[in-house]
Amino acid sequence: MNAAPIILGMSLKMYFGQRRTLDWCREVASAIARHPAVLEGRVELFLLPSFPLIAPAQEIFSTTPMRIGAQDLHWEDQGAFTGEVSGALLAEMGARYAEIGHAERRRLFGETDETVALKTAAALRNGLTPVLCVGETHQGSAEQAAQACLAQLESALTEAQRQGLHGEVILAYEPVWAIGAAESATPAFIAEVCDLLRTGLSNAGHRARIIYGGSAGPGLLSRIQDSADGLFLGRFAHDPRAFASILDEVQLR
């Protein structure tokens, strides 16, 4: 068994409305309150709901180890940025994580390496753990994938390094070609990429843990074994029973 807990993070994206989000939270809160993997401290949990539901989600999970974060943040802490949410506000609300650089943000909203670096710095500046999404656009070798991810990480940390900011980063490896696909990348491919990433992180002296996203769901954790530190779950965790089955996999490792 690993000494460090397995990370299970979930982003609800924009799939749920208010009622369904809160119903989901209540059902999951009930499941984790009694699950052995949670009670034994074998799992680290975080949830990224829509901005307006951060506070009610925190209330529902207040007696559990589930921590709440945001799916995005602005790179400035305050100012005339209509419709945006700052890391300072998120931290004041008690959020613990901020997702940064998802492929959808880049594709749909024009986010660049520069904005990702600014947002990473904003998260660290406000005591939030960046959940930094990295991944190759096209399917190729594991070596090519790892090189692309490490280059994205180095780029994302440039502004934080310039400001002298430090802190742990959770590296969410999500091959862009696997996002939304019927199945994830193969377990062997995921394991090889994660092993290469771990070596690269160690050589560069970065504090980061690696979780796999990209159509991650039930059955995957037991197949990738110890190559990743956990999973970043999306639509395959929309059914609370599916999430509970992933907790069962944690218990069996």
| Catalytic positions, written as ranges | 102, 174
Helix, coil or strand: residue 106? helix
Two structure tokens written together for 69: 């974060």
Contact 194, 228 (CB under 8 A): yes
Contact 102, 129 (CB under 8 A): no
* Residue 68: C-alpha distances to residues 10, 11, 12, 182 (Å): 10, 10, 12, 27
* Residue 202: C-alpha distances to residues 125, 183, 199 (Å): 23, 30, 5
| Amino acid at residue number 167 | G
Helix, coil or strand: residue 88? helix
